[in-house]
Amino acid sequence: MVDSLQPPTQSPGPPRRAPRAHGDAPGALAPRGPRDRLAAAGAAIALAVPRAAALLALLVAGCIEVPPPPPRPPLEPKDLQVSEGVGLEVACTPTGVELCFDAHDNNCNGVIDEGCGLHTGILQFTIAWEEAEADVDLNVYDPTGELARVGEPTASGLMKDRDCPRVSGECQEQNVENVFLTEGEPARGRYRVVVRLDKLNDATAPVRVRLSARIGQRSYSMALDLSPSAATEEKSVEFTL
């Protein structure tokens, strides 16, 4: 008897999936119909729109011109107070070329004693007097109350560059004291300028002292008479920036 061998019956395997397109997430089925393809296209558009909007915003921002900051108002003294009997000359009257060591803006260009070896700045305070024997001091206090000294600028930048008379004779009998702002913008606040007769010595009282101040691009001037008395030995000027 001849046995007939039958091939073993194979059980059907799992259904085949459509081939995965490049870039699809593992396990994702490829779109099978128009509806699936439309949904996939919508999802792609939804991802692309925010990116395009962000790129457009960056391009627009790069093309927008940012306006410069508004100019700062000019420096003008406010709430000005002077000692009794002191006349303030607000309007400058040109008298000719600039003269040295008279603490006066002779040509009215806003700079006091220019070309005379004195430092200047957007703030400048200068005194001068004719009596060489008299010792007169210029004391300028910044808004913090700090006194400007020779060679030592205050925290706000004020410094004195001339202190006369000197025993060494470096002032050459041209008695001038000068305080100026070394750099930058002046500190805002209350300033106090004091002119004091320290020693009369052999000079005759009263000692006539010229005080001028440069504030911004304008100069102000006044004449002071000082005598050795508690009521008349010093005069002061105060203002606010």
- For 158-193, the pLDDT digits (tens) are 999 888 887 666 677 788 999 999 999 999 999 999
> Could you tell me which residue, 220 or 24, shows the higher pLDDT?
220
Phi, psi of 219 (to 5 degrees): -120, 150
Q: How many percent of the chain have pLDDT more than 90?
A: 47
Beta partners for residue 180, in sequence order? 124, 159
Average pLDDT, the chain: 81
**pTM of full prediction above 0.75:** no
Measure CA 14 to chain center. Answer: 79
Whether 94 shows a pLDDT value over 50: the answer reads yes
Phi, psi of 58 (to 5 degrees): -65, -40
- Mean pLDDT within 107-130: 92
